[in-house]
Amino acid sequence: MGFPPLLSFTILVSKYSDKMMKDSAITKYLSRIKINNCHTDLLGLTALQELHTINIPFENLDIIVGRKIDLNHDHLFKKIISQKRGGYCFELNILYAELLKSLGFSTKPILCRVWLSNPKNIPPRTHLAHLVDLEGRTYITDVGFGGLISRVPLDINVSTPVNDQVGMVRILPFADQQFMIQRLVEQVWMDQYSFEKVIISEEDIEVSNYYMSSHPKSHFYYHRFVGRNTADGRIGLFNNKMSIRKGIKVFDKKRVDYGQEWIETIKREFLINLDFSKKELKLLFEEKEHLI
């Protein structure tokens, strides 16, 4: 029996995209990303994406200490909004999509293949982002990518390069219902990630989240990733190596020793308040044996 053809993306994933926030939760969320209110237009979506990536960091530290990555709304809201933690793509973008929907935006989840470092083989679909239908156009919006992805929503049907305040980005169609996001780095267009405009299920999201948070082949399983955008660049911490960018260019690097200095750095630079036990803090700085 043959497989059905790829379908145009016309439905939502109910479990993660249909949750509606109460007004009090919306107010608390908007306060967390330092925005008072916004309209359901492109300017509003742009402001939400930019301020989200500045005020809520990308981080995978729960994975390092062995915590299960729970995608339940109440857990995500408590962790990211109330406890002022960050998260990785599945956590950040699921909660962000719930905010968008509650504000009146129409969102559709997509799973993406990450092409950083020029992988030799086709990478799996392990990154979550969302499409937003707005004013007759379709935009991709993403607040959970750990790399130099666009700081602004991109119209998936426009290939003209866009200045996102720190550099040039573009989105290109390269096959039927498939698109690639690229960033201009030292005059070379570098692939960031690709996606297909097709239906995905909540199980697709769960499987990808489980793989990325628990499988020994996942880079998140071994390495500590922390990062957030700044007004004019980005700061990132990969294990104990911190980089500071203006635009997309690194202008400063420093080593951050594991222990109290590391904890103070992520609190000061990345706005993260850790809630780890003594046992978890010990696991945070232990090097895992590579199983694969």
Catalytic residues: 89, 127, 142
What 3 state SS string does the chain have? CCCCCCCECCCCCHHHHCCCCCHHHHHHHHHHCCCCCCCCCHHHHHHHHHHHHHHCCEECHHHHCCCCCCCCHHHHHHHHHHCCCCECHHHHHHHHHHHHHHHCCEEEEEEEEECCCCCCCCCCEEEEEEEEEECCEEEEECCCCCCCCCCCCEECCCCCCEECCCCEEEEEEEECCEEEEEEEECCEEEEEEEEECECCCHHHHHHHHHHHHHCCCCHHHHCCEEEEECCCEEEEEECCEEEEEECCEEEEEEECCCCHHHHHHHHHHHCCCCCCCHHHHHHHCCCCCCCC
